[in-house]
Amino acid sequence: MRDFHKTRAGFVGLGNIGRPMAHRLASADAVELWVHDIAPEPVAELSAAGATTAGSVAELAASVDVLSVMVRDDDQVRQVLAEVLGAVGDRADGATLTVLVHSTVGPQTPAELAAAAEPHGVRVLDAPVSGGPMGAAEGTLAILVGGAPEAYAAARPVLEAMGTKVVHAGPAGAGTRLKLARNLLHFASFTAATEAQRLAEAAGLDLVALGDVVRHTDAITGGPGAIMHRESTAPLAETDFWHGVFGHVAALGEKDLGFAIELADELGVEVPLARIALDRLGPGLGIPMTEQTEQ
């Protein structure tokens, strides 16, 4: 017999991140979990953890209140949603189904999915995650949500069982756009890290030690997130508090980037990102280039 004090959650897509996310739901007091995947092993594992197994996406769609989808790409998400929409007429209680798309999809896909689902009475939220398998296992993911407030409210017990930073970013697509902006920083930073490694290697330095230092100091300063406190990217007025802060950051950054480029030239290492950063750091922080030159 169903416990109506619990949110009945479904999960499809039990891969490297989906499986630990589902485990967090299986252990949540406020959630009753149902799962489905084409691979039998993770389904058996979640069943042993207390989840109810479903033989198909259609069975999940007919049975749960909130359905999490964590599959590979846009095409698979569309396929899952098509199966969901084909089965919602079989829901016994007539309650609205909310679908959470945790996969990172194209920027236009969430609105397309929401529009396709609306005539069927199904609400779709894009809810991509950040934090990787470790965050999924620990229940500390950031979950970035786009969609209607009432759908977000219905899904909150499920979202909060899987993440400690749940952000309702705005309407459909806002969660995905926030994730794409976050990942632009993530992977551009990785590319910059490979450039720094090449410079360190050419200088005869220990690359593992460099990585240790980066992780240590980023844990203290916040890394790139340390500059992300303004509500605008517009140029800063001299009377703005951040003008003095970022003016100092820009001056220090230009000095150190200049020295790093000088070392790279001496060692014959190509550092194109460092040269772009030297040119764009100040203006990106809101400090006009003319002020950079004067400093």
pLDDT per 10-residue tile (average), the chain, 295 residues: 80 98 97 97 98 97 97 98 94 89 98 97 98 97 98 97 98 98 97 98 98 98 96 95 96 97 98 97 86 50
Report CA 236 to chain centroid distance, whole Å: 29
Q: Please, which contacts does 256-264 make with residues 24 or more away whose CB atoms are closer than 8 Å?
A: 257/281, 260/199, 263/199, 263/203, 264/199, 264/202
Predicted pLDDT at 291: 53
Rounded to 10 degrees, what is the CA torsion of 204, 206, 210, 216? Answer: -150
Predicted pLDDT at 83: 97
- CATH architecture observed for domain 178-294: Orthogonal Bundle (1.10)
Q: What pLDDT, in 10s, does the model give residues 220-258?
A: 999 999 999 999 999 999 999 999 999 999 999 999 999
Catalytic residues: 179
Please report which helix (H) or strand (E) contains residue 141, including its range: strand 141-146
3-state class percentages of the chain: helix first, strand second, coil last, to nearest 5: 55, 15, 30
Predicted pLDDT at 106: 97
Could you tell me if 155 and 127 are in contact, meaning their C-beta atoms sit under 8 angstroms apart? yes
Predicted pLDDT at 92: 78
Domain with CATH 1.10.1040.10 in the chain: 178-294
| 7-171, CATH topology level | Rossmann fold (3.40.50)
Q: How far apart are CA 68 and CA 66, in angstroms?
A: 7
Predicted pLDDT at 113: 98
Domain with CATH 3.40.50.720 in the chain: 7-171
142 DSSP β-pair partners: 130, 165
Predicted pLDDT at 94: 76
Predicted pLDDT at 4: 64
